[in-house]
Amino acid sequence: MTNSNEPVRFPDSFIWGAATASYQIEGAARADGRGPSIWDTFSRTPGKVHAGHTGDVACDHYHRYRDDVALMAELGLHTYRFSIAWPRVQPDGTGPVNPYGLDFYDRLVDELRGHGIEPIITLYHWDLPQTLEDRGGWTNRETAEAFAEYARAVYARLGDRVQTWTTLNEPWCSAYLGYGSGLHAPGRTDPAATFQTVHHLLLGHGLANQALRAAGASTIGITVNPTSAFPADPASEADAKAVELVEDLQNRIFLDPILRGGYPQRILDHVSRFTSLDHIRDGDEKIIGEPIDLLGINYYSPTYLAAKEGAPGGGGAFPGTEGIEFIAPAPPLTDMGWQIQPSGLTALLSKLGRDYPGVPMIITENGAAFPDQLDPDGERVDDSDRVAYLDGHLRAAHAAIAAGVDLRGYLVWSLLDNFEWSYGYAKRFGIVYVDYLTQRRVPKASARWYQEVIRRNGIG
């Protein structure tokens, strides 16, 4: 790891940016023909989201995008990663395209490019049209086919001005938290549905990849959130096996089909404990394994694991991990209760570089929630803890590059404080403070620090 006070410089071509997601910032939940998503439904289900918060208004980015883009330009961002709300484009998930929904993204892309900021589009960041969920959601193979149709429609409108396309964001969360633990929309708790969803998300990725490539897209990728897992006792073979199983369920079940052409047999054996494998059809793995150009990596915190008789495992988020103890995070912690360990990022990037060589990577999310408050004058947020977090993780990313990892860029999560899923508005990840009552934006100290990092292309 680079000395914490030593100046570091990134490659001249390194890309600096920030990321957001549609349901978390856009608001305008019923505007211009947008249909309901599973998160609209979930957030209205009593007890599912903190204090009954919803994304109905969020950061009102739908109406304030010009001011937000001007702020991005002020910070010097090279790129901005945002997601398209599928229910804006196809309110029912299939069928006719809603031109008003695409009009918004048309305006946003033009605004970004007018300020010299390259858009990176994520086609799916969890807001599935509710009508598709009513027909089975991601447990239904038809949803994967509908996703490719949707991808084709978005590219037809925006593909002339957008170079980089990401199919899915964190399919582990969609499958395991949405269909396994019930912590995310649609709130199901069925391990069989979880693994069916994993496959159909991957199939959707592959079909969308094919559709985008056929339409002329030049840079196509997917964003995953692989675990950076460690044994509680490095000398314990049982702990090492625990790490292997959790990595299978969070990393290899996605990355091996995408980058190696198929599921490892031991993962199929594990899945078959919960469901038949009938949902995996001949030819699916070939579709999923269509080449990609860029792998997005989201990293926040490490995981420590121990083999322990009687331990409950990871529950619905990790089906079949009974006998594994997920060690409680050790301080220092973020406001999410997540352990702060930048070296986990170096270890993860290095491992991925070894296991899946030849695929360029970009950090598509990294950041931290802290209990930020405006100063008494309402003009400043001194989030020195976030600055320290970002500093440490950028140094960790630099260390991976120095070790030979092909890392092309870094996108901070998040540009704005926003709707943080089941936590509602109780957690603040933004480098820009949002006063939700007035929608006023106040760049935090971390935003100004990041602005300087981009200007220098390095730290110190």
Angle, vertex CA 81, rays to CA 29 and CA 118, nearest 5 = 120
Whole-angstrom CA distances from 284 to 169, 194, 212, 215, 256 are 20, 18, 17, 21, 13
Q: Which runs of E-coded beta strand occur in 328-454?
A: 361-365, 407-413, 432-435, 440-443
Q: Catalytic pick from 111, 118, 285, 365? A: 365
3-class SS of residue 358: coil
Spell out a b/e string for 299-318, using b for 16 or more CB atoms within 10 Å of the CB, else e: bbbbbbbbbbeebebbbbbb
DSSP letter assigned to residue 224: E
Cα separation, 60 vs 418, in Å, equals 10
Sheet architecture: strand order including 303-307: 229-231, 303-307, 324-326
Q: Catalytic pick from 170, 285, 325, 420? A: 170
Cα separation, 223 vs 198, in Å, equals 14
Angle, vertex CA 327, rays to CA 184 and CA 270, nearest 5 = 60
Cα separation, 162 vs 86, in Å, equals 17
Question: Residue 52 pairs with which residues in a beta bridge?
Answer: none
Per the annotation, the verdict on 452 as an active-site residue is no
Half-sphere exposure of 413 (CA within 13 A, CB side): 20
The residues near 76 (Cβ < 8 Å, ≥ 6 apart) are: 16, 451, 454, 455
Nearest to 249 by CA among 200, 204, 316, 339: 316
Per the annotation, the verdict on 365 as an active-site residue is yes
Cα separation, 92 vs 49, in Å, equals 24
Whole-angstrom CA distances from 175 to 193, 201, 336 are 8, 8, 21
Amino acid at 335: D
What is the greatest pairwise CA distance in the chain? Answer: 63
Give the 3-state secondary structure of 127-190: CCEHHHHHCCHHHCHHHHHHHHHHHHHHHHHHCCCCCEEEEEECHHHHHHHHHCCCCCCCCCCC
Angle, vertex CA 227, rays to CA 365 and CA 418, nearest 5 = 35
The residues near 359 (Cβ < 8 Å, ≥ 6 apart) are: 259, 292, 294, 295, 406
Catalytic residues: 170, 365
